[in-house]
Structure 1
Amino acid sequence: MAELPREVDVLVVGGGSAGCVVANRLSADPGRRVLLVEAGVDTPPGRVPPEILDSYPMPLFHGDRYVWPGLDAAVTTDAAGRQRRRAYEQGRVIGGSSSVNVQSANRGLPRDYNAWAALGATGWGWDEVLPYFRKLETDLDFDGPLHGRDGPLPIRRILEPDWPPFARAAARAFDASGLPRRTDQNGEFEDGIYPTAFSNRDDARVSAAAAYLDAATRDRANLAVAAETTVVALSTAGRRVTGAVLRRPDGSERVVSARHVVLCAGALQSPTLLLRAGIGPAKHLRECGIAIVADRPGVGANLRDHPALTIAQHLPRALRLPVAYRRASFLALRYSSGRPGGSASDMYLTASARGGWHALGRSLALYFLWVNQPHSVGRLRLRPSDPAGLPDIDLGLLSDPRDLDRLASGVRMLVGLVVSRHLNPNPHELFPASFSPAIKRLSAVTPRNAGLTALLARLLDGPAPLRRSMLRAFTGGSDLVSLCRAGGELEDYVRNNVFGVWHASGTCKMGDPADPKSVVDPRGRVIGIDGLTVVDASIMPRLPSANTNVPVLMAAEKIADVLIAR
């Protein structure tokens, strides 16, 4: 275990996507001493675990090894105030969630960033952020003014000539939507059917750690990486942050002083650290017995995620992927709901040919449906009884009825598309799916689960009456086709099954310093505090119409330039 320095120029808290970018860019100056701190394990070049390198997202099936243990969130709250809670898998490993996610690499739409600028994030419109999207990437398929060719992150797609039978079948089924097929979701901004872009090279994941903390970067004498090191508290002197108290794996603690601290701990951990440091809503801080350093009501507010549903379908054998074919997600459908309160391109649907790593998963297709432009808002708070413990997270999904309406409408559309002769025409072989506690236990990588899922897969491929009986048992009797014919029952199904897609954001909102709800200004500096910058998904004023990893990398590249210029 390497010795921690006592003093650095820049302390980067969190080795996720943003932290890897900031550590790389700021340590490029040999005169700047940088310390990157990550609570999870390190995965240095040449020693990346195979489950992280896998094109299929295997890390989530390895228990809490790569995620924050015990972290959960309220998903919805009913009229009586009863919450539905479940585990929230946030990356806790070098590379953060880019080391555990599905590797999606979509940017979102120009209107997303123009909206950020209109909400007070001056300088973050599409024309201002595009150079940073180009800077971060090497697009292996497309060139031109919208794409980069020499950035750290490779981005590719599996294009139609190389599609396996499932992708061809799903595309033919999606054609019934009437939307055109397109090729570049990061350069064509209309509705359509797209091959998904993902961060991958030579059929291996390229996380932010692999892209930005390569061997040459780690060899810099002025950069130290401290993994399995937890930030206990930020150190303050008046209204200035001066460093942090760090805890090592052996339980020892050390104060590290820094001229500047950059929080890159993510939309759940960054606001938690601010609140513990006395930066947040004054009333809440008093309830927690924390001295107020700065009254910033926006800390922990504006929490957003994409409300989502997952639906599975039994696949004919001819459409299944061989075990050796690791990439399983091929297509995305971006479309406009046309519902009241909706907007252009406000819905998103992806199709995957594998519902799990095991034999049972290989016999199932998995469809992700989510609201691309949600109105619902949640919040994060400390627990007054235990401010040092895990935060109290309420995603607030479906708190705005317009999101419920659009998801219900989306289920009807999805069922109409995928109950198809191209995929599986049997409506009874389409069923709700979720990463429930029971499914999570069954999905753990163990010899027992490998054997059990192989048996279940053989039974599922047996006679149709047996398969129907098994599917009814798996789903509690839910019949999606029947639900789509009944208004109230479909809405109940959506409420009981909705979840986010691990895109938590917005809890340290970037905006005009004169806006009391803003937490950071457009340069990422915490308003009213010296020596502290935040850059991760927490600063997003609104969710982009996309997975959040590439937008976070863009934001980190942009704010790194600001920090270097200072």
Structure 2
Amino acid sequence: MLRDAADALEAAYDVIVAGAGTGGCVVAGRLAAAGLSVLLVEAGPPDTADPAIADAGAWVGLLGGPCDWGYAYAPAPEVAGRAIAIPRGRVLGGSSSINAMLWNRGHPSDYDGWAAAGATGWDFASVLPYFRRAEDWEGGETPLRGAGGPLRIETSHDPHPVARALLAAAAERGMPVLADANGPDNAGAALANLNKRGARRWSVVDGYIRPLAGDPKLTILTGATVLGLLVSGSVCSGLRLGLERGIAEVRARREVVLTLGAIGTPALLMRSGIGAPADLARLGIAPRHALPGVGQNLQDHPLLMGINFSARAPLGPVRDNGGGAQLNWRSRPGLRAPDLHAFVVQGPHAGPEIAATADLSGPVFAVSPGLMGSTSVGSLRLESAESDGPITLRPNFLAEPADRAALAGAVDTILDLADTAAFRDLGAVPLTPARRLGRSEADAFVARACSTFFHTCGTCAMGTGPAAVVDPALNLHGVAGLRVADASVIPTIPTGNTQAAVVMIAERAADLIRNAAG
């Protein structure tokens, strides 16, 4: 049942889930359906607060608004001294309620890499059942896809002309055209898998929470800030919450699950005295438990906003999520998985630095590439012990020369599309950049165009080594009664959008919690 923050809370619940984003809604919904009493806590409002949330084509207008935490990556010389906005959902459903709805698992070998790095039991064969369990794939059940699950997944039923052109252009360039972007291999062009039902977004709230409306086992508390963990010795027993009426404490009879995301979860741990002792001492926080990996290993996928084309004539209204098709390819032979990804945009796509270099009015579209095999790793740093204090986020985009070289090559690959019959049929003329670039020019363009896919992860990495924060059962190392089930536990970023990986993690977390509860 949905409770307002002004309502009285029960003293204890079987499980408390902190953060009602992608991971939190999955965990809470599955556990409540299994008969455990669950409190799901969210700082933001219900997802009905803005009608645009339900509109699959309106998500861009949600970024930077009241349902967005408003984070940004710190300026860095590698990205021409710019801060880069990193939208994160501050609303029931979290980023699942404001994102572009893409459902990409990445390459199967990504998860084999997790297992090899110490996340035992998280190889692809082991996690595939959890991907399939979540899915209601429009194509029906297959050995790789699920049907009848909570999350509706569709491709465009009437692709936009730009989406159709990308598929045709890829075929003309000798690249595979895939029947399913989440098939056995993701190299090639495909219609995008989207979490939508027709023109409506289908978020984790739709899939996992709304079917439990009125169920007394599920209490959802919106407008509540998680101020800290209740820890005694080496046991976590609950949360301290900031409500409109004051501060409250609530206890978990079985365990607390952190699903505040790759920014919120490590920040809460550090503010609760769990992290690197030197970092905690710098902020005047009394150390409770030393875990030096908290806030480290930050990873994201760099995206280039800025490869725009003019078209001969208007291309029609926005369809689907404003895109609809994608392309994966390898920057060089011999790579285990495609490391480059591009998607179409049914209009201009550029930050202010690139937009200032050309007229992007009129019929314009974009094909935006990014690096899914990025190797640069950054960190999260608290600047205050206060719950609303500033956080410095450094992804170290383009810090590795190989990352810069791969993205510079991606610019040429996208410009090659202009020489295909499919793009000539649209009257496509490159605008930004307007021509092929020399190496130094390409490096400068990449630095000015670099943005993010909004795939922040890795800051409480799963594993067994000294830098690991959670074990392969998602338990926090050294603290009983506390689990993490969000993007922060990802040890190495997959070569795809992270939403599907987070849902899979949360599905498995629910199983682990149920099994522990007997």
Whether these two folds match at TM > 0.5 is: yes
SS of the counterpart of 1:211? helix
In the other structure, the counterpart of 1:329 is 323
User: What letter corresponds to residue 352 of structure 1 in structure 2?
Assistant: V
CA RMSD after TM alignment: 2.3
SS of the counterpart of 2:183? coil
User: What letter corresponds to residue 118 of structure 2 in structure 1?
Assistant: G
In the other structure, the counterpart of 1:41 is 45
Q: Once the 2 structures are TM-superposed, how far is the Cα of residue 62 of structure 1 from its aligned partner?
A: 6.3
User: Kindly, what percent of the aligned residue pairs are identical?
Assistant: 35
CA distance in 1, matches of 2:276, 2:408: 35
Report the count of equivalent residues. 499
In the other structure, the counterpart of 1:438 is none
Q: Once the 2 structures are TM-superposed, how far is the Cα of residue 480 of structure 1 from its aligned partner?
A: 4.4
In the other structure, the counterpart of 1:67 is 68
In the other structure, the counterpart of 1:28 is 33
CA distance in 1, matches of 2:412, 2:149: 41
Q: Once the 2 structures are TM-superposed, how far is the Cα of residue 374 of structure 1 from its aligned partner?
A: 0.9
SS of the counterpart of 2:149? coil
- Summarize the Cα distance change of 1:26–1:61 in structure 2 as closer, same or farther, 3 Å threshold: closer
CA distance in 1, matches of 2:362, 2:207: 30
- Summarize the Cα distance change of 1:310–1:63 in structure 2 as closer, same or farther, 3 Å threshold: closer
In the other structure, the counterpart of 1:558 is 508
Post-superposition CA distance 1:27-49 (Å, at most 9, x none): 1233x321000111112xxx474
Is the 2:39–2:219 contact (alpha carbons within 8 Å) kept by the matching residues of 1? Answer: yes
In the other structure, the counterpart of 1:185 is 181
Is the 1:305–1:502 contact (alpha carbons within 8 Å) kept by the matching residues of 2? Answer: yes
In the other structure, the counterpart of 1:518 is 468
Post-superposition CA distance 1:496-517 (Å, at most 9, x none): 22122100000000001xx110
Aligned mate of 2:190, from 187, 190, 194: 194
CA distance in 1, matches of 2:422, 2:288: 61
SS of the counterpart of 2:423? coil
User: What letter corresponds to residue 332 of structure 1 in structure 2?
Assistant: Q
Q: Once the 2 structures are TM-superposed, how far is the Cα of residue 312 of structure 1 from its aligned partner?
A: 4.5
- Summarize the Cα distance change of 1:5–1:351 in structure 2 as closer, same or farther, 3 Å threshold: same
- Summarize the Cα distance change of 1:399–1:240 in structure 2 as closer, same or farther, 3 Å threshold: same
Aligned mate of 1:113, from 104, 107, 111: 111
Aligned mate of 2:338, from 340, 345, 370: 345
Q: Once the 2 structures are TM-superposed, how far is the Cα of residue 399 of structure 1 from its aligned partner?
A: 1.5
TM-score, length-scaled by structure 2? 0.91
In the other structure, the counterpart of 1:212 is 208
SS of the counterpart of 1:349? strand
Asked whether 1:14 is paired with 2:19, we answer yes
Q: Once the 2 structures are TM-superposed, how far is the Cα of residue 353 of structure 1 from its aligned partner?
A: 1.8
Instruction: Extract unaligned runs of 5+ from structure 1.
Output: 432-478
User: What letter corresponds to residue 407 of structure 1 in structure 2?
Assistant: L
CA distance in 1, matches of 2:480, 2:266: 17
Post-superposition CA distance 1:397-434 (Å, at most 9, x none): 11211111100111111112135553368786422xxx
Post-superposition CA distance 1:309-359 (Å, at most 9, x none): 023534436461235x444312111101107x9553111111122348xxx
CA distance in 2, matches of 1:383, 1:124: 34
SS of the counterpart of 2:452? coil
Is the 2:167–2:190 contact (alpha carbons within 8 Å) kept by the matching residues of 1? Answer: no
CA distance in 2, matches of 1:59, 1:172: 27
Q: Once the 2 structures are TM-superposed, how far is the Cα of residue 132 of structure 1 from its aligned partner?
A: 0.4
Asked whether 1:509 is paired with 2:461, we answer yes
Q: Once the 2 structures are TM-superposed, how far is the Cα of residue 394 of structure 1 from its aligned partner?
A: 0.7
In the other structure, the counterpart of 1:434 is none
- Summarize the Cα distance change of 1:480–1:429 in structure 2 as closer, same or farther, 3 Å threshold: closer
- Summarize the Cα distance change of 1:426–1:498 in structure 2 as closer, same or farther, 3 Å threshold: same
In the other structure, the counterpart of 1:372 is 372
Q: Once the 2 structures are TM-superposed, how far is the Cα of residue 521 of structure 1 from its aligned partner?
A: 0.3
Is the 1:311–1:430 contact (alpha carbons within 8 Å) kept by the matching residues of 2? Answer: no
Is the 2:170–2:177 contact (alpha carbons within 8 Å) kept by the matching residues of 1? Answer: no
Post-superposition CA distance 1:367-417 (Å, at most 9, x none): 221111110001001115867503211111112111111001111111121
- Summarize the Cα distance change of 1:113–1:385 in structure 2 as closer, same or farther, 3 Å threshold: closer
CA distance in 2, matches of 1:304, 1:230: 25
Counterparts of 1:539-554 in structure 2, within 5 Å, are 539-554=489-504
Post-superposition CA distance 1:116-140 (Å, at most 9, x none): 0000001100110000011001111
CA distance in 1, matches of 2:171, 2:268: 47
TM-score, length-scaled by structure 1? 0.83
Post-superposition CA distance 1:207-259 (Å, at most 9, x none): 11111111x413111211001111111121122212111112x2511111223
CA distance in 1, matches of 2:215, 2:361: 43
User: What letter corresponds to residue 118 of structure 1 in structure 2?
Assistant: A
Asked whether 1:485 is paired with 2:472, we answer no
Q: Once the 2 structures are TM-superposed, how far is the Cα of residue 186 of structure 1 from its aligned partner?
A: 0.8
- Summarize the Cα distance change of 1:322–1:426 in structure 2 as closer, same or farther, 3 Å threshold: closer
Asked whether 1:400 is paired with 2:400, we answer yes
Instruction: Extract unaligned runs of 5+ from structure 2.
Output: 350-359
- Summarize the Cα distance change of 1:422–1:34 in structure 2 as closer, same or farther, 3 Å threshold: same
SS of the counterpart of 1:543? coil
SS of the counterpart of 1:36? strand
- Summarize the Cα distance change of 1:286–1:387 in structure 2 as closer, same or farther, 3 Å threshold: farther
CA distance in 1, matches of 2:37, 2:417: 55
- Summarize the Cα distance change of 1:361–1:149 in structure 2 as closer, same or farther, 3 Å threshold: farther
In the other structure, the counterpart of 2:417 is 417
- Summarize the Cα distance change of 1:388–1:40 in structure 2 as closer, same or farther, 3 Å threshold: closer
Is the 1:301–1:506 contact (alpha carbons within 8 Å) kept by the matching residues of 2? Answer: yes
Is the 1:419–1:430 contact (alpha carbons within 8 Å) kept by the matching residues of 2? Answer: no
- Summarize the Cα distance change of 1:423–1:78 in structure 2 as closer, same or farther, 3 Å threshold: closer
- Summarize the Cα distance change of 1:315–1:5 in structure 2 as closer, same or farther, 3 Å threshold: farther
Q: Once the 2 structures are TM-superposed, how far is the Cα of residue 288 of structure 1 from its aligned partner?
A: 1.2
User: What letter corresponds to residue 98 of structure 2 in structure 1?
Assistant: V
CA distance in 2, matches of 1:367, 1:234: 44
In the other structure, the counterpart of 1:50 is 51
Is the 2:236–2:482 contact (alpha carbons within 8 Å) kept by the matching residues of 1? Answer: yes
CA distance in 2, matches of 1:48, 1:150: 28
In the other structure, the counterpart of 1:270 is 265
Q: Once the 2 structures are TM-superposed, how far is the Cα of residue 165 of structure 1 from its aligned partner?
A: 3.0
CA distance in 1, matches of 2:381, 2:493: 20
Asked whether 1:534 is paired with 2:467, we answer no
